[in-house]
Amino acid sequence: MRRAIYPGSFDPVTNGHLDVIERACTLFDEVIVAVAINDQKQPLFAPDERLAMLRNAITNDNVRVAPMEGLLVEFAASENAHAVVRGLRAISDFEFEFQMALMNRKLDPDIETIFLMPKEEYTYLSSRIVKEIAKLGGDVSALARKFRIKLGEVAPIT
């Protein structure tokens, strides 16, 4: 089985994330969306909220959402995954992602990193921007489909 990990903080999940997940599903039999739990970061949403947002937003049966702590390569090995999927929006993303991919390869040469570009309409989109708009009371429903995200509140669109 071809299994890949798509790691991230997903704070919050955006349409760009969902697009990358859909693209990864065409390449792999199973995609595990790994929600990074990092005590050193100050996320807007708690880990359980981020996990719930993803589970509610993903409709593909070949996708599993799981919390992840520690090293990505260790998580991938524990899930018997041999690929890591990362989204690239712009050249500015590439340098950081390239360094991470090389370090992951050094830690575990059996893990390959696959870079996927989202649809052009999502290249400007980031969780940081969505959080900023939400914190200032703006409507982010067009940026983070299926959710109305307000500071301290996540509600599925019905």
According to DSSP, the residues that pair with 151 across neighbouring strands are none
* CA dist., res. 56 & res. 144, Å (int): 12
89, exposed or middle or buried, with CB in 10 Å at 0-12, 13-18, 19+? middle
Helices (H), the chain: 15-25, 47-57, 72-78, 91-107, 127-135
For the domain that residue 120 is a member of, what is the CATH number?
A: 3.40.50.620
Range of the domain at 43: 3-124
Decide if pLDDT at 150 tops 80. Answer: no
Q: What is the pLDDT of residues 79-135, one digit of tens each?
A: 999 999 999 877 777 888 999 999 999 999 999 999 998 877 666 666 677 767 777
Is 143 within the bounds of a domain? no
Q: What is the pLDDT of residues 8-24, one digit of tens each?
A: 999 888 888 898 999 99
pLDDT of residue 42: 78
Among 9, 23, 86, 127, the one annotated catalytic: 127
Is 46 within the bounds of a domain? yes
Q: What is the pLDDT of residues 24-48, one digit of tens each?
A: 999 999 999 999 987 677 788 889 9
In the DSSP assignment, the letter for residue 33 is: E
Is 84 within the bounds of a domain? yes
Is 71 within the bounds of a domain? yes
In the residue annotation, 17 being an active-site residue is answered as yes
In the residue annotation, 126 being an active-site residue is answered as no
Structural domains of the chain, count: 1
pLDDT of residue 13: 86
pLDDT of residue 43: 83
pLDDT of residue 127: 67
80 and 39 Cβ atoms separated by less than 8 Å = no
Among 64, 82, 89, 148, the one annotated catalytic: 89
In the residue annotation, 82 being an active-site residue is answered as no
Residue 94, SS3 per DSSP:
helix
Decide if pLDDT at 75 tops 90. Answer: yes
In the residue annotation, 127 being an active-site residue is answered as yes
Task: Read off the pLDDT band of 158 (50, 70, 90).
Answer: very low
